[in-house]
Amino acid sequence: MKTAIISDTHGLLRPEALTCLQGCDLIIHAGDIGCPEILTQLTSIAPTHAVRGNNDLNLPWAANLPDYLTFEINSWQTLLTHDIADVPADLDSKIKLVITGHSHKPCIQWHGDCLYLNPGSAGRRRFKLPVTLALLDVSADTLTPQLVHLLDSPA
């Protein structure tokens, strides 16, 4: 199952990101979406899970978005929240995939048998951080993440 993970679009869904999302079975947005049209575009490509980020708070269109979600991807228990600071310290041992955004810093890290994935920011560049998203190949027994750089070089 090909899954795209995107975050921190802040109202900008780049053509390069749209190209990467084509053919995905599922899209996950880890918050700071920026405008409802982004979710409309994403759901026109594939089923989409999304949480609101700190910049989506107090926006009427985002009021019904959750702060965190738990769901399964191909039998992998997944926790999705915008800020890693909101991941419980006593994380349920059934959770094997934690997806966050917020920092704009991409990170793919295993903590024991749990994958922590931050796809970085796919929207406007922040400082000199890369503009990225992640693709995740999900099979019954493996998670294979890949970071995708959307722009060739830093600003």
| 66 falls within a domain | yes
| 20 falls within a domain | yes
| 120 falls within a domain | yes
Q: How many domains does the chain have?
A: 1
What's the domain range around 142? Answer: 2-149
| 11 falls within a domain | yes
> How much is the pLDDT for 152?
73
| 128 falls within a domain | yes
| 34 falls within a domain | yes
| Confidence class for position 127, pLDDT limits 50, 70, 90 | confident
Q: Give the CATH number of the domain where residue 35 resides.
A: 3.60.21.10
C-alpha to C-alpha distance for 122 and 9, rounded to whole angstroms: 5
Kindly report, residue by residue over 73-105, the tens digit of the pLDDT: 999 999 999 999 999 999 999 999 999 999 999
SS (H, E, C) 63-132: CCCCCEEEEEECCEEEEEECCHHHCCCCCCCCEEEEECCCCCCCEEEEECCEEEEECCECCCCCCCCCEE
| 155 falls within a domain | no
pTM of the model: 0.95
